[in-house]
Chain A
Amino acid sequence: DAGVIQSPRHEVTEMGQEVTLRCKPISGHNSLFWYRQTMMRGLELLIYFNNNVPIDDSGMPEDRFSAKMPNASFSTLKIQPSEPRDSAVYFCASSVTASLSYEQYFGPGTRLTVT
């Protein structure tokens, strides 16, 4: 298996532009997580999907952020409009809810820079 796939790996954009980050979870995994990582705030959970349904989006910073999971093999995180403070590494992770190990498998991340 290729693992969790994220694209793009790097994104540089100007303030005010729309940014879309993409994630393909591991086949057969039914839970998907979007995280944001910064030096100041560490790893923050933004949103959690289970069986394609958003379960908890309390970590989404504000209305500028939105996430979708139209099917079991694809999810997007959109920021519109982007701001410099959104600069961070965004990770997608997937897991099997019923697994005894609860292990989350992380993708390589998307490094977002908003200028």
Chain B
Amino acid sequence: QQQVKQSPQSLIVQKGGISIINCAYENTAFDYFPWYQQFPGKGPALLIAIRPDVSEKKEGRFTISFNKSAKQFSLHIMDSQPGDSATYFCAALSNYQLIWGAGTKLIIKP
């Protein structure tokens, strides 16, 4: 019940395309859902986050879509750029602890 399942494991998208990464959870007590971005040799950094009282949050080219009834949320990257190539982690907050997805390695082809 504490798991967050993330898919796909890896993703290749053409420059300018839309990248979509999906996550699903079971625990309805989760109340905060962030996405972190990690570049090689760096620690993860917060990209965007959403609370379950809204269905969508947009920041620039990055959008989180949240479906509370389905217990799913996804990250959409519009107009994907080579600089977006990184590993993306979804997570869910339970008390103080972030429960992490397994990560998606995104490659944007020029």
B44 contacts the other chain (Cβ, under 8 Å)?
yes
A102-B34, A106-B43, A108-B41 known; A42+B103 contact, CB < 8 A = yes
Query: Is B102 interfacial (CB 8 A cutoff)?
Result: yes
Q: Decide yes or no: A103 and B43 within 8 Å by CB, A31-B96, A43-B100 being known contacts.
A: no
Q: In the complex, how many residues of chain A place their beta carbon closer than 8 angstroms to a beta carbon of chain B?
A: 21
Residues of A within 8 A of B103 (CB): 42-43
In the complex, the 10 A-B pairs of residues with the closest C-beta atoms, listed nearest first = A106-B43, A43-B100, A103-B46, A42-B102, A91-B43, A106-B44, A109-B43, A102-B32, A107-B43, A102-B93
Indicate if the CB atoms of B49 and A45 lie closer than 8 Å: no
Given contacts A102-B32, A106-B45, contact A55 B96 (CB under 8 A): yes
Whole-angstrom distance from the CB of A37 to the nearest CB of chain B? 9
Least distance between A11 CB and chain B CB atoms (Å): 15
The closest CB in chain B to the CB of A93 belongs to B43
**B88 interface residue, CB < 8 Å from A?**
no
* CB-contacts of B29-83 with A (<8 A): 32, 34, 41-46, 49
- Asked if A43 and B89 make an inter-chain contact with CB atoms under 8 angstroms apart, the answer reads yes
Chain A 90-115, CB-CB to B under 8 Å as 1, else 0, gives 01010001000111111111000000
Chain B contacts for A48, CB-based, 8 A? 96-97
User: When the two chains form their complex, are residues B43 and A97 in contact, meaning their CB atoms are under 8 A apart?
Assistant: no
Counting chain B residues whose Cβ lies within 8 A of the other chain, the interface size class is 10 to 19
Q: Using CB atoms, name the residue of chain A closest to B46.
A: A103
Tell me the bound Cα distance from A51 to B34 in angstroms: 23
B98 at the interface (CB under 8 A from A): yes
- B35 to chain A minimum Cβ distance, whole angstroms, is 12
Q: List 9 A-B contacts (CB under 8 A).
A: A42-B100, A45-B97, A97-B96, A101-B46, A102-B93, A103-B46, A106-B42, A108-B42, A109-B42
Q: A106-B44, A108-B42 are in contact. List 11 more A-B contacts (CB 8 A).
A: A42-B100, A42-B101, A43-B89, A43-B103, A48-B96, A55-B96, A102-B49, A104-B98, A106-B43, A106-B45, A107-B43
